[in-house]
Amino acid sequence: MTDASACPISPTDAPALTTRDVRFHHAERGVLAEQRVLANEVPIALVFNGISHAVMMGTPLDLEDFAIGFALSEGIIDIAADCYGIEVRPVAAAAAGLPMGMDGMEVQIEISSRCFAR
């Protein structure tokens, strides 16, 4: 378990998209400045029955659905009903040993003992 209290984001207010100014260097037209919409990605830890299984970068939206899909596609569970509960919580960068400003998310997934034993 990690201390989420120091994390400035919550699972519901983590922005999925950001608008950023970008510059394009074109040989004939020089430097062009435009705004682009970019997807935000954060580290997401998937923890099954208290044991960390994987960490990947992803957009911090619909993490419950992401966790179920991951567990099904990896063969960790056989059907969605093998998942008894999911808790999503933010993790402060300092608590995860990440650079400042790179807060992440942790998805705690409780699965059946039958699936976990495999």
Q: How many CB atoms lie within 10 A of CB 74?
A: 11
Q: What is the mean pLDDT of the chain?
A: 85
pLDDT for 80 equals 95
Across residues 72-84, what is the average pLDDT? 96
Q: What is the pLDDT of residues 21-66, one digit of tens each?
A: 889 888 888 898 989 888 888 899 999 999 999 999 998 889 999 9
Q: In what order do the strands lie in the sheet with 83-91?
A: 51-58, 42-48, 104-111, 83-91
Mean local confidence (pLDDT), 106-113? 96
Q: Structure pTM?
A: 0.70
CA 43 vs. chain centroid, Å, equals 5
DSSP label at residue 86: E
